[in-house]
Amino acid sequence: MEEQEEKLKHLTDDQEHLLTMLQHQRKAAIDGTAGSGKTMLAMAQAQRFAREPETLKTLLLCYNRPLADWLSDQLPEPFRDKITATTYHSLVADWCKKAGIPFKPHKGDQDFWEYEAPEMLENAAAIVPSEEKFQAVVVDEGQDFRALWWDSLEKVFRETTADTPFYVFYDPKQNLFVEHPSLPAALGRPFTLPVNCRNTQAIARHCGEIIHTEITVKASSPEGHPPKHLTARDLKAAIAATTKQVMEWCMPKQGGMKPNQVAVLTGVESDHGWPDQFDKIPATHDFDKWRAGEAVLITTWRRFKGLEADALVLIDNPKSKASEADRYVASSRAKHLLTVVNIEP
């Protein structure tokens, strides 16, 4: 797996040539397949803006909270006071607080986030001082942004001209939250990242089969092991199969992997009964503990969106009523090893 990782790292580094080609392009939409390095490029582009001679105050925005936390944690020290990595939801909350606007969303109220939150951000932007606003914005997971969100984001810029830096990275096939995704017209025709450089060829093929599309990989990409498919009669049996797999991967005299290399993704929020350890291997729902290497992560497919793990157990529960997009996105999070446990209906 270490040998495979070295090859994949070189392929990801190669993708940054696109940013060099676009160095004079102040606005751009980047359409990239799953595993094409969009998140790494979004972070690299934010750093490019922040390094410009005038040191642009840059917003690095995404949809998923765990991804925003990871982006913020990964920012090199010199950029931490120049780049704000956050989610759209947190941006609205923070700016309402700065503007003194009451902010009390109801949990699960999609209409609030669809219609009221963008209006609140615009109102807050009219009050927030210019020096608090951003000179450049980079968005990852753009396919999950609502149409009105884009309108409201225009207000967080200090100024909006043809040269105002604005990049959006997205994959329409990973659309999980917006029925008809749209992008700002000012970005123009999208540039394409068609090559997967995160997954082994075997996992990339599996992901392509889910959405009935051939995913392009480079010939030098490692072949890897084919995904393993298991069947369980119920959640209890699925947990037993997962425990066996995690032990095989993590025990010192077997796979020897570290806990932060492994994640277990469940399709249903209400799946209860997961243990706090897989036999001798600790487990956690806390992303910080997982990143610190204290335990294997247990979370949902959608909470893990935008992140990745070297080895992944995917629990496919019929209760989740998962779509092709859900399965595609979840499966593509596995870099080297993937085990799918299908719970029988």
| Dihedrals phi, psi of 83, to nearest 5 degrees | -120, 130
DSSP string, 102-154: ---PPTT-HHIIIIIHHHHHHHHHTTS-GGGSBSEEEESSGGG--HHHHHHHG
> Domain residues of the chain, as ranges?
7-195, 201-343
SS3 341: strand
CATH 3.40.50.300 fits domain 201-343:
yes
Pairing of strands 262-266, 309-316: parallel
Residues 259 and 294 sit within 8 Å (Cβ to Cβ): yes
In the chain, DSSP finds a helix count (H) and a strand count (E) of 12, 15
Q: What is the pLDDT of residues 154-171, one digit of tens each?
A: 999 999 888 999 999 998
Q: How far is CA 245 from CA 59, 110, 333, in A?
A: 40, 37, 17
Task: Supply the pLDDT for residue 271.
Answer: 58
Q: What is the mean pLDDT of residues 328-339?
A: 94
Q: What is the pLDDT of residues 79-108, one digit of tens each?
A: 999 999 999 999 999 999 999 999 988 776
- The domains spanning 7-195 and 201-343 adopt the same CATH topology: yes
What per-residue confidence (pLDDT) applies to 11?
57
The answer to whether the beta carbons of residues 60 and 83 sit under 8 Å apart is yes
Burial (Cβ within 10 Å: 0-12, 13-18, ≥19) of residue 21? exposed
pLDDT at 178: 60
Q: CB-side exposure of 333: number of CA atoms within 13 Å?
A: 29
Query: Is the per-residue pLDDT at 14 higher than 80?
Result: no
The rounded distance, in Å, linking the Cα atoms of 317 and 50 is 43
Give the pLDDT score at 268.
72
**Residue of 33, 35, 44 whose CA lies nearest to 71:** 44
pLDDT at 266 over 60: yes
For residue 107, the model assigns a pLDDT of 72
Q: What is the pLDDT of residue 69?
A: 95
Q: Is the pLDDT assigned to residue 286 strictly greater than 90? A: yes
pTM across the whole model? 0.85
So what's the pLDDT on residue 179? Answer: 60
- The token pair at 288 is 């910080």
Tokens of 34: 């799953």
The rounded percent of the chain whose pLDDT value lies above 70 is: 94
Report the 10 Å Cβ neighbour count for 63. 23
Q: List the one residue out of 281, 276, 286, 272 whose CA is nearest residue 315.
A: 272
Q: Say which CATH topology domain 7-195 has.
A: Rossmann fold (3.40.50)
